[in-house]
Amino acid sequence: MIRAAILGASGYVGGELMRLIAGHPAIKVGVAFGASSAGQPVSSVHPHLALAYASEHFARWDPKKLRGCDLILAALPHGETQRLADQLVAADLPIVDLGADFRLDSAEQFERWYGEPHARPDLLSTFVYGLPEFHREEIRGAARVAAPGCYPTAASLALRPLIEAGLVEPTGIIVDAASGVSGAGRGAGAGTHFCAVDGNFRAYGLLGHRHTAEMEMMTGASILFTPHLASLSRGILATCYAQARQPGDPLQVLRDAYANERFVHVGEMPPETKWAAGSNAAFLTARYDERTNRIISLAAIDNLGKGAAGQMIQCANLMLNLDEAAGLSTMGIYP
């Protein structure tokens, strides 16, 4: 068994990683670092895992504990991986990082969208962007992968084949997306209070959401991205609009692009976030509107699955030459 060191194991993504690994045929948890919960039983923070992790405890960060591990899975708040970079590099282990730190390929872009200089621009080029549907071969041979987050994954899956096929204009694309609250993490605040979200719907981060940079990098297009917070725990739906550039059926383009993908379903029905809940699946559809000459393309994923922990495991499977689907499900929990 491959022993994984999980950084950020007490967060939502960390919990999902532990859940997936408990059912993984070839990976097990070596050490679960959980800063704020160090020393506590895993079940005190993740009671849903109490039967699977009956006696495990969270560890305090200590790079020496990486010895004996074979893989690093980092699900830390933005900025943390940069800070730990020396220690992680020294461990010389394959790493999948979900933070934003090493996703962008340019330190300038990072500084522009994150408002601070990048601490380790020298390492940027050593990370491969971990969206297997587009970078499978690079990931397979990579030692370091920066897995994209939830919004860029959904938007890229919906848009990139249409742009590559020349079907849509690569400028002024609208990505209008709704997300469940777990995307904001476990931290409690006014915006994640139950009463502030229950039965509510709102946009946030108007004009300047940081994920715009990744979407533009992944599609080569200019994008106006508006995230919304929906009254759900998990799930992202990206509804994307672009001007049509030439005749063509966007649904067929998506079908062709993902014909051999095990986690992407392209169908007629508008996808629903709940189809993907708890899984690594993505559900897509698209249409051409003759009246306005616009193309609309939609993708639904679980932000903690294909948008986070599932994607990390999918990348790790590729890096370790395991079955790409090991430990992952294509089936959401419904209803």
Question: Which is nearer to its own copies, 127 or 241 (by Cβ)?
Answer: 241
Q: Which residues in 283-321 are b (16+ Cβ under 10 Å) and which e?
A: bbbbebeeeeeebbbbbbbbbbbbbbbbbbbbbbbbbee
How far is Cα 262 from Cα 55, in angstroms, rounded to an integer? 35
Question: Which is nearer to its own copies, 106 or 243 (by Cβ)?
Answer: 243
Minimum gap (Å) between residue 120 Cβ and its own copies:
27
Question: Which is nearer to its own copies, 53 or 102 (by Cβ)?
Answer: 53
Q: Which residue has the tokens 């929990």?
A: 333
Helix (H, G, I), strand (E, B) or coil at 219: helix
Minimum gap (Å) between residue 33 Cβ and its own copies:
20
Minimum gap (Å) between residue 113 Cβ and its own copies:
11
Helix (H, G, I), strand (E, B) or coil at 22: helix
How far is Cα 220 from Cα 162, in angstroms, rounded to an integer? 12
How far is Cα 322 from Cα 25, in angstroms, rounded to an integer? 10
Is-catalytic flag, 150? Answer: yes
Minimum gap (Å) between residue 332 Cβ and its own copies:
4
Question: Which is nearer to its own copies, 9 or 296 (by Cβ)?
Answer: 296
Residue type, 213: A
Q: How many residues does this entry show for the chain?
A: 335
Question: Which is nearer to its own copies, 252 or 293 (by Cβ)?
Answer: 293
Q: Which residue has the tokens 């940069």?
A: 82
Q: Which of 150, 195, 240, 315 is catalytic?
A: 150
- Closest by CA position to 282, among listed 244, 236, 245: 236
> Distances from the Cα of 82 to the Cαs of 102, 217, 229, 313, 329, in angstroms?
8, 20, 28, 21, 31
Q: Which residue has the tokens 């051409």?
A: 288
Q: Which residues in 96-110 are b (16+ Cβ under 10 Å) and which e?
A: bbbbbbbbbeeeebb
Question: Which is nearer to its own copies, 146 or 229 (by Cβ)?
Answer: 229
Minimum gap (Å) between residue 167 Cβ and its own copies:
16
How far is Cα 198 from Cα 124, in angstroms, rounded to an integer? 39
What are the two backbone dihedrals, phi and then psi, of residue 150, each rounded to the nearest 5 degrees?
-70, -50
Active site residues: 150
